[in-house]
Structure 1
């Protein structure tokens, strides 16, 4: 029986979760399949047009693609489309199903005027920066289907077991900061407008959206540092996935003050208390900082791909 590609409604998202549990080969991804699907296929639809395609054989879902029809909040370019999730059940691989889902997404995007399709994370709702290099067949498929690698990203892993550097006390550092008039505390929903404004003005990008996905949610959170009502820094976790940390940022004038390390470890302690055994610090920039502040190590590496559609530039 041939495979049919259809649009998936919200009622079929539980099937998508089940498929991802079986199709995501890395245990850390399969374990968080419910959060990944909720983030990419449900919550993201609140502020951007989401495409949910399923490959169906005999009524059973054997493959899924989730992406953004038009536009990219991170880049602000309506000519860009994103594929955020592509998965095929193990028993149905190497039959062209993934390629068929991608071809359908490409055709729909091109018809809407998109110039390029990216196989890359699309903040503020994303599950990976790109394709983890350990998903080697997916990397090979992307290259075979005409996608080119244009960037590399990496995560760092912070061990959250008892006694790890990531969980060492921040009490002395917080006392030193208090002596300089700096207060460190948990962020509350009422803080979100000021936090979002600080993130936009200081760092740009989509961190304000990620903060909105962290502050006030039961499975996520954030901490902030302030002096005389002025925000000096923030750190957040759980916006897209329970085990992932980020984003975090410190005002340029406060860099080197120790605020970042305090905020980081406060969040990591929250994650450890929630049962997370190892935190993923996503899409890392300052590797030495996270290594020194939390004993984190580079572990997950991702290739980000892109492809021109219909020869457009």
Structure 2
């Protein structure tokens, strides 16, 4: 299903700073000279499809990809406007950091960036059923009726997600 986030009703920008401090993480936009390294990391930890998808973030100005970094290493990412205008995602975390507040911190960065770009809403495309309750709880996301199966249909055979 797809979900909708109201970008005019977000948690404050600094809401997750204590979590980031506790995990010794920095969040920032990706930089153009990091493209190959970022895409390699996403390919290694997630999929070729996601690496292809977020490669579009490097063509935008400003780059529409945020990184979570610990001691100079990527441990997570969140992109926006890479598959469709107004879409947030994909987002991915190193397995050791799943279940922390990092996903929410990265999402909040993306949502605030989209709001700064003039969007009133963000679409979360193809949300997994286990992820939807978290989006409802933390960002007041609502399901978009009739959005299943959404835009991720008619995929090329052999394409990974």
TM-score normalised by the shorter chain: which range applies?
0.7 to 0.9
The answer as to 2:8 corresponding to 1:171 is no
CA contact (8 A) 1:220 1:239 kept: no
Give runs of ≥4 in structure 1 deviating > 6 Å. none
Q: CA deviation at 1:180?
A: 3.0
**Equivalent in 79, 88, 113 of residue 270 of structure 1:** 113
Q: Which residue of 2 aligns with 1:215?
A: 58
CA contact (8 A) 2:13 2:112 kept: no
Q: Which residue of 2 aligns with 1:255?
A: 98
**Equivalent runs, 1:145-294 vs 2, <5 Å:** 154-161=1-8, 164=9, 167-218=10-61, 221-285=64-128, 286-294=131-139
Q: CA deviation at 1:218?
A: 2.1
Q: What is the CA–CA distance in structure 1 between the aligned matches of 2:101 and 2:114, rounded to whole Å?
A: 21
Q: What is the CA–CA distance in structure 1 between the aligned matches of 2:58 and 2:33, rounded to whole Å?
A: 9
The number of aligned residues is 149
Q: What is the CA–CA distance in structure 2 between the aligned matches of 1:298 and 1:212, rounded to whole Å?
A: 27
More strand by share: 1
Q: CA deviation at 1:243?
A: 0.6
Q: CA deviation at 1:195?
A: 1.8
Go from structure 1 to structure 2 and tell me whether the alpha carbon gap of 1:191 and 1:274 turns closer, same or farther (over 3 Å shift).
same
SS of corresponding position for 1:226: strand
Note the aligned Cα RMSD (angstroms): 2.0
SS of corresponding position for 2:58: coil
**Equivalent in 277, 284, 302 of residue 148 of structure 2:** 302
Go from structure 1 to structure 2 and tell me whether the alpha carbon gap of 1:157 and 1:220 turns closer, same or farther (over 3 Å shift).
farther
Go from structure 1 to structure 2 and tell me whether the alpha carbon gap of 1:230 and 1:275 turns closer, same or farther (over 3 Å shift).
same
CA contact (8 A) 2:19 2:102 kept: no
SS of corresponding position for 2:36: helix
Q: What is the CA–CA distance in structure 2 between the aligned matches of 1:174 and 1:198, rounded to whole Å?
A: 24
Go from structure 1 to structure 2 and tell me whether the alpha carbon gap of 1:179 and 1:207 turns closer, same or farther (over 3 Å shift).
same
